[in-house]
Each structure stands twice: as C-alpha cells, then as structure tokens.
C-alpha cells in the first residue's frame, strides 16, 4: 500500500464512523459486535470501552470538521461525569474512559466542565493506589478479598490520566503514584525475556509479590497478545510523560517479544505463544501494538526507529488489506478477540480495536490531530 491507499482507507473509516454516529445517536455501542454490528447492543454509558467511541468521534471530527460529529461527542461527554458520580463501572480503566472523552474534549474546546470531570476521574484513579505493594488495584472494591491485591498490564494505558492531571494541577501525589505504579508493573509484570503477565497479585497486608496469573490469555505462563500491546504502548507513553529510561527499556523489551512472535502475515494470534493456524488472530492487539511501535520510534534513533516504523506500517497495511470489516457492517476491524477463554467477542469487532485502527492510520499518515495520550 502507498500513501494514497492509506488515505483512501482512512477516508473509508471516517465515513463509517459518521454513518455509525447517525445510526447510534445518543446511545453507546457495546464493547464488541455481534456478527460485526454494534446495533443489537446499543445502550447507556456503562462499559469499560465507551471512551473509545468518543475517541473515534473526536478523531473523526478533527479530520473532517463535521459539526454533527462534534455536537454528538459534546452531548455524550457529560455521561462520563455522571457514571463517575454514580460509581458505575469505576475501576482502573478510568484513563481509557476519560482520556479519549473528557480530556480530549477539554483540549479541543476548552470546556471547563470536561476538565473538572477528568480531574475528578484522576483523583478516583489515584485513590486506588495501594501503599503495600506500590500499585494501582485493577478491579473490585478496596475490601474485595479476591481483587484487592491484583494489578494488570492494561493499567499502563490508564496512568497517562494521572500524568495529565499532574500537569494541570501541579499535584505531586498524582505524578508519584503514576511513577511508582509503572515501576512496579515493569518490575513484576514484564518478564526477563520481554514477555508479560496479564495480571499479578500481591499480598494485601504486606505488599509482597505473590505471582502472575492470566485472566484472558492461554495460561499463566503464556503471553496474552492484547496485554503485551497495552504494555508496549503504555510504557512508551510513560517514557514520554516522565523521561524515565526504565520505561523506554520496558517498551523495547515488550516490542521485541511481540515482533518476534508474529505469524508470517504480521497480525498476531490472540496469545503470542499460540501458533496453530486455526487459532484466532487478534486484530485489536495488532492495532494497539502498531500505535505503540510508532510512539516508540519517536523516542529511539537511527535504524531502530526505522525498524519500528517499518513494522508498524506493515501491520497497518495487513489490517487494511485483509482484516477490515465489510463496508455494510458497523465494525471497522474484523477478527478481533475480546475474551477467548470465556467465548466472548471472538472474531468480532471491538470498540478499542476500531479506535486504535483509526489512530494507527492517523499516526502513519502524520495527520495534524490531537491524540488522547499525547499532551
């Protein structure tokens, strides 16, 4: 594919986002499609992925200046504040919820209500920091005996919210908790060979490490592809936002393992340690990793940066050529996997996979667009 091919793909993606916006109205699409369509599950702002729908709207608005898209995004924004106030689905995914919605809206429009809502979300995320163990609790209430000691690799895409809030307020506590959490994730969830645990447990009382365990991967010792991609991208962002060299090293470790475990066409299996051609791919993990590789390339020099950009371009090319959902369907990327062990969203489209496919095209083409994670 050449530049014109990628431009044509991006145009097709934004046109579909516009059609979906008209079709969905003020209802939110669900996390995953049914037969590559979201419409059967339309409803309120309740899932952990709804921020990625706002992210699609705000990126599309920046590219097209369609007022209808902007107006819809602005009308949906306050629902994020409402769910935070009501405690609906509030856990460590506050970053993925509020960065593509309220933070991006504030940065694009100057809306002070958006800023205030995002700062409250950052405070709520910081409150999940556990002093014993030095980590942000992923799921459940603080007194949940099953979850109080768990953190997960996905969290690296949430802590940019704390860095942003620190920049807005000067509150050092937010910065310190983001840093300490990222250091803990790097120490315990990134393995020596560059693979990663999906989740990791600490003793609640002492903070001592207990061990890694998967939730959505093949096994505790394997490498769940989407988790690896979250970590690759998240550590590159943490390096951008802090300058801490260890974060850059972790991102490179994760990138190396990811790239060395790709099948021939460059689109990963749902778990990087699976290789049977009958196993499902995960296009959402590939799209996230492509964005992470392009971010990583911005922080290294010479041939390595060229290699990362080349790998990202190859992956986006394969996604665009072979894995796009048909035009008549509402999803953007087919063949994503939400949760294979539970049989959920297998070979479907996902809100996050669709969002990161759009972001990857924007990054690849060098569009002058504000992204949720870069500030």
- Active-site annotation holds for 154: yes
Rounded to the nearest 10°, the torsion over CA 107, 110, 116, 119 is: 20
Closest CA to 162 of 147, 143, 148, 182: 182
Which structure tokens are listed for 350? Answer: 């996902």
Spatial CB neighbours of 199, under 8 Å, sequence gap ≥ 6: 138, 150, 151, 152, 153, 212, 213, 214, 215
Beta-bridged to residue 336, according to DSSP, are 348
Choosing from 93, 271, 282, 354, the catalytic residue is: 93
DSSP string, 262-309: --TTS--BSBTT---TTSPB-HHHHHHHHHHHHHHHTTS-HHHHHHHH
Whether 71 sits among the annotated catalytic residues: the reply is no
Contact, 45 vs 76, CB < 8 A? yes
DSSP 171: -
Q: Which of 186, 151, 193, 174 is nearest to 241 (CA)?
A: 174
Task: Decide: 308 and 316 in contact? Cβ < 8 Å.
Answer: no
From the candidates 31, 81, 91, 154, give the one annotated as an active-site residue: 154
Tokens (6 digits) for 47:
């899932």
Q: What sign does the CA torsion over 217, 223, 226, 231 have?
A: positive
Residues taking part in catalysis: 93, 154
């Amino acid at each position: 594919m050449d530049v014109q091919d990628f431009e044509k793909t991006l145009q097709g993606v934004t046109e579909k986002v516009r059609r979906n916006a008209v079709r969905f109205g003020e209802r939110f699409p669900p996390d995953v499609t049914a037969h590559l369509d979201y419409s059967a599950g339309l409803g309120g702002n309740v899932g952990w992925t709804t921020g990625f729908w706002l992210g699609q709207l705000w990126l599309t608005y920046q590219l097209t200046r369609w007022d209808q898209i902007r107006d819809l995004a602005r009308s949906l924004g306050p629902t994020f504040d409402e769910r935070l106030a009501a405690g609906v689905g509030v856990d460590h995914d506050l970053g993925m919820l509020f960065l593509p919605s309220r933070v991006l809206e504030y940065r694009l429009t100057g809306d002070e209500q958006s800023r205030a809502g995002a700062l409250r979300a950052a405070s709520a995320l910081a409150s999940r920091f556990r002093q014993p163990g030095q980590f942000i609790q992923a799921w459940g209430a603080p007194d949940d005996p099953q979850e109080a000691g768990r953190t997960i690799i996905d969290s690296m895409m949430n802590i940019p919210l704390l860095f942003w809030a620190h920049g807005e307020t000067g509150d050092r506590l937010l910065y310190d908790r983001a840093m300490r959490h990222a250091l803990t994730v790097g120490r315990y969830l990134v393995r020596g060979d560059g693979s990663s645990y999906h989740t990791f447990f600490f003793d609640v009382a002492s903070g001592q490490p207990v061990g890694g365990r998967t939730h959505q991967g093949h096994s505790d010792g394997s490498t769940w592809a989407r988790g690896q991609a979250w970590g690759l991208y998240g550590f590159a962002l943490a390096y951008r936002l802090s300058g801490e060299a260890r974060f850059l090293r972790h991102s490179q470790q994760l990138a190396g393992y990811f790239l060395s475990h790709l099948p021939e066409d460059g689109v990963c299996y749902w778990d990087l340690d699976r290789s049977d051609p009958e196993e499902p791919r995960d296009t959402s993990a590939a799209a996230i990793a492509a964005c992470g590789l392009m971010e990583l390339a911005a922080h290294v020099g010479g041939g390595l940066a060229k290699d990362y950009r080349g790998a990202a371009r190859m992956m986006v090319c394969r996604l665009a050529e072979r894995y796009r959902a048909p035009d008549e369907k509402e999803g953007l990327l087919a063949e994503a996997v939400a949760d294979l062990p539970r049989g959920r969203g297998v070979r479907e489209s996902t809100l996050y996979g669709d969002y990161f496919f759009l972001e990857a095209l924007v990054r690849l083409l060098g569009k002058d667009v504000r992204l949720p994670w870069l500030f």
